[in-house]
Homo-oligomer: A and B are copies of this chain.
Amino acid sequence: MSDQNPVFIPGPTNIPDRLRRAMQVQTRDHRAPDFVETLAPVLEGIKKVLNTTDGHVVTFPSTGTGGWEAAISNTLSPGDKVLVARYGMFSHRWIDLCQRHGLDVEIIETAWGAGAPADRFEEALRADVDHRIKAVLVTHNETATGVLSDIAAVRAAMRAADHPALLFVDAVSSLASVPFHMDEWGVDIVVSGSQKGFMLTTGMAILGVSPKALAAMETARLPRTFFDFRDMMGANAKGGFPYTPPLQLIYGMSESLNMLFEEGLDNVYARHHRLAEGVRRAVAAWGMKLVAQSPDLYSDTVSAIYVPDGFDSNKLTDHAFHAYGVSFGIGLGEMNGRAFRIGHLGSLTDVMVLSGLAAIEMAMADLNYPIRLGSGVAAAQEFFRQPARTAAKSAA
């Protein structure tokens, strides 16, 4: 029966019926006008979500990890230096990828739960007088810790250091759920995927690429073919792909953008904030703590929550799944066993969120956590009903 319970993993997210239908297209000729006429507006639509006018959008039949690989292999050469802060599982994995591609990675070790340290970036960039650092890599939303970093601050630090490095941002679990300002923030490459804020199945890496990053492509010597920007952009310009396109995902993305724009991006972001805040009220009511160190870092797409000392978060997520058929994110890396995660992004309602809170409360009670049943739900309810109460009053 668990097919009907929502998932609360921080992606892939619950796919709304409208998008499930949109992806149910029979095979069509990808060289035919219908596809061509779908592709161009999709790329334009993604630009709106990125808030870019100068940037180009490139997609690959792949995942966010493939997007990362595309970002570096199209712009850098073996031995190039990059600067990265490690403060969670996904920044850690990006570092690993860079190292395996022969880059020289300067790592700023940062506490898990903290965000991108703009000041230490500035320091490192100032120290790099020869401008050996070719790119700064930042994870916008660290899915492992539920931390949203301030990209504008990182760019400000780069400007303060007067450093010409490129700025690459992992926005896999933030794009289309929280505001993103590619041009304003001076982002050179942003990487995302289809299965989070875009509410689709997994299988499409989505990148925004600045003119400066495109220029870097000219001298980049890391090998690439499948992930080559030039091949993809050249083919896209003629309405096609350099290989077989993921047709169903392109149609799905077309409808996803329709949904996002119909709701209004600002409303989408406000909804994410509202649902996230409801979850945080529940966490407070339980007397538990977020991994994110301070409110300015709280992610509106995922909350990582410390379990009390002496409890094992893996047992909790496992029990929630087996006893109640509800999936939550496990603690990753340093957080394994110490924290569990509630994903609250994509196509979600307050009522769905409440069902997740109710489920994890039962699981916690079963495992003798010191919480009161219904307390988190009530705190979230109290928060969620604010606008409705107002509406009810004004209607009275």
Contact = CB atoms under 8 A, between A and B. Distances in A.
Contacts of A26: 3, 14-15, 17, 20
Contacts of A131: none
A68 B374 CA distance: 44
Contacts of A7: 27-29
Given A1-B16, A389-B365, A226 B66 contact: yes
Contacts of A100: 223-225, 228
Nearest to A357: B358
Contact of A392 (B15, B21, B224, B319): B319
Given A24-B17, A202-B247, A5 B352 contact: yes
Interface in A208-256: 222-228, 242-249
A51 interface: no
A349 B392 contact: no
Given A101-B223, A389-B366, A242 B65 contact: yes
A61 B64 contact: no
Interface in A89-109: 96-97, 100-102
A350 interface: yes
Interface in A12-49: 12-18, 20-21, 24-32
A359 interface: yes
A277 interface: no
Nearest to A102: B223
Interface string A377-396: 11101101100110110000
Interface of A: 1-7, 9, 11-18, 20-21, 24-32, 61-66, 68-69, 73, 78, 96-97, 100-102, 193, 195, 201-203, 222-228, 242-249, 319, 321, 323-327, 330, 347-352, 354-356, 358-359, 361-363, 365-367, 372-375, 377-379, 381-382, 384-385, 388-389, 391-392
Given A12-B247, A323-B388, 4 more contacts: A61-B61, A62-B62, A65-B225, A100-B224
